[in-house]
């Protein structure tokens, strides 16, 4: 409706203008020496209007042409990006499928018109590493740093993983240590560092990692306690033969760890093998077993040097009443009675122990007792039973 009204007004104005020009024709004189141009006013106005319209149409055509060229340029860019994206997708699929050569080729083709080729370079580095083309893998990582210097974490983790796969553990550890400073709770960095420290046998480094693993919530309380216990066991095993170092490690260990039966077992055994086991360690085992009964720790107690046979007989006898007929307790009692030259009791305990099932150590101790009592034939039978039990355990 508005458009019709505008057209109507233009027509009315045109009629009035035509009538006015007819009644008062006028003229336009243009003097530009040596030329003089004279024309009716209406013709001059019509010529001006025509000129303006031509200018308008010309400018509009230029704008349209420019716009078409711009759209063509955008289409070419988008088409190139789409092709690059397609190559990248195919390359990532080949990478997941383990087709390393194809993955590397497609991913590098995908970088040609990609706006963000970081993933292409990282994927190509993994593919080249799988092909054992380590120089190419390093080159791809350098290019990744060049195109995305802010993606240090992603590139660094990839670099560390490739170094780990190449068994360059020291280099991988250095890379991850740097990344750990940037992000102390990064889960992948912590997991890789843990694996590397285990491979290197760097228990101190692993121990320093424990607080980070806790803060990153990669370990719950139970797992953290087990982790710390295992590390203390490794510390003690590594110091085996060095009594001073063993005692230092023991003193430095957290109080909760020093109450763990497994840790106590390894610690006391290491001291005993070093010839430095004292009544302090014997009392430590007795106190621990009083609170937390562990047959394996009781077995360690039975291997300790006998310092007070009567007290030990009373202690182990009390354990036997409290915990029942356990082979380890019967074996300890048999050894203690043999040491005290209570031959009858020693023989009874050994036989009760063997009645519960094959036991190589009990057979050997019983055989030694029988040999000492000049019953060589019976001793030989026990030795044979002991060997059979060992063979059975081995199989």
Q: Please, which pLDDT band fits residue 30 given cuts at 50, 70 and 90?
A: low
Range among 35-44, 188-197, 381-390 with highest mean pLDDT value: 188-197
Which structure tokens are listed for 360?
A: 């190589």
Please count the helices (runs of H) and the strands (runs of E) in the chain. Answer: 19, 2
Q: Please, which pLDDT band fits residue 139 given cuts at 50, 70 and 90?
A: very high
Domain ranges within the chain, ordered by starting residue: 76-150, 317-395
Q: Domain 76-150, CATH 1.20.1540 — does that match?
A: no
pLDDT for residue 258 is more than 90: no
Q: Please, which pLDDT band fits residue 79 given cuts at 50, 70 and 90?
A: low
Contact 163, 172 (CB under 8 A): yes
Of the CATH numbers 1.10.10.10, 1.10.10.60, 1.25.40.10, 3.40.50.300, which one belongs to the domain with range 317-395?
1.25.40.10
pLDDT reported for residue 132: 92
Q: CA-to-CA distance for 5 and 137, rounded, in angstroms?
A: 74
The answer to whether the peptide bond before residue 34 is cis (omega within 30 degrees of 0) is yes
- Rounded to two decimals, what is the model's pTM? 0.66
The residue-averaged pLDDT of 367-387 equals 83
Following DSSP, what letter does each residue of 328-390 receive, concatenated? HHHHHHHHHHHHTT-HHHHHHHHHHHHHTS--HHHHHHHHHHHHHTT-HHHHHHHHHHHHHHH
Backbone angle region of 133, left / alpha / beta, with phi > 0 → left and psi within -120 to 50 → alpha: beta
Q: Please, which pLDDT band fits residue 363 given cuts at 50, 70 and 90?
A: confident
Assign 31 to helix, strand or coil: strand
pLDDT reported for residue 84: 57
């Amino acid at each position: 409706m508005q458009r019709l009204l505008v057209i109507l007004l233009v027509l009315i104005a045109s009629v009035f203008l035509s009538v006015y020009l007819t009644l008062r024709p006028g003229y336009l004189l243009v003097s530009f020496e040596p030329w003089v141009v004279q024309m009716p006013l209406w013709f001059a106005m019509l010529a001006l209007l025509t000129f303006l319209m031509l200018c308008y149409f010309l400018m509009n055509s230029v704008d349209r042409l420019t716009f078409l060229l711009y759209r063509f340029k955008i289409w070419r860019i988008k088409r190139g990006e789409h092709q690059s994206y397609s190559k990248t997708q195919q390359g990532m699929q080949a990478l997941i499928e383990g087709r390393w050569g194809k993955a590397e080729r497609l991913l590098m083709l995908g970088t040609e018109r990609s706006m963000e080729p970081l993933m292409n370079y990282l994927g190509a580095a993994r593919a080249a590493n799988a092909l054992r083309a380590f120089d190419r893998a390093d080159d791809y990582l350098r290019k990744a740093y060049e195109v995305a210097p802010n993606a240090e974490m992603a590139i660094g983790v990839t670099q560390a993983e490739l170094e780990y796969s190449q068994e360059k553990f020291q280099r991988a550890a250095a890379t991850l240590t740097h990344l750990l400073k940037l992000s102390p709770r990064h889960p992948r960095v912590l997991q890789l560092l843990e694996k590397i420290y285990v491979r290197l046998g760097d228990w101190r480094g692993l121990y320093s990692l424990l607080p980070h693993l806790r803060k990153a919530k990669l370990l719950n309380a139970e797992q953290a306690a087990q982790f710390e216990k295992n590390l203390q066991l490794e510390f003690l095993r590594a110091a085996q033969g060095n009594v001073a170092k063993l005692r230092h490690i023991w003193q430095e260990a957290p109080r909760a760890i020093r109450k763990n039966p497994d840790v106590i077992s390894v610690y006391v055994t290491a001291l005993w093998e070093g010839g430095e086991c004292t009544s302090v360690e014997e009392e430590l085992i007795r106190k621990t077993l009083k609170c937390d009964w562990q047959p394996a720790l009781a077995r360690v107690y039975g291997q300790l040097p006998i310092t007070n046979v009567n007290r030990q007989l009373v202690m182990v006898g009390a354990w036997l009443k409290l915990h029942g007929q356990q082979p380890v307790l019967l074996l300890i009692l048999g050894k203690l009675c043999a040491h005290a030259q209570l031959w009858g009791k020693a023989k009874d305990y050994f036989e009760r122990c063997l009645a519960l099932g094959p036991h190589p150590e009990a057979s050997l101790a019983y055989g030694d007792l029988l040999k000492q009592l000049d019953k060589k034939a019976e001793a030989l039978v026990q030795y044979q039973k002991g060997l059979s039990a060992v063979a059975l355990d081995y199989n």
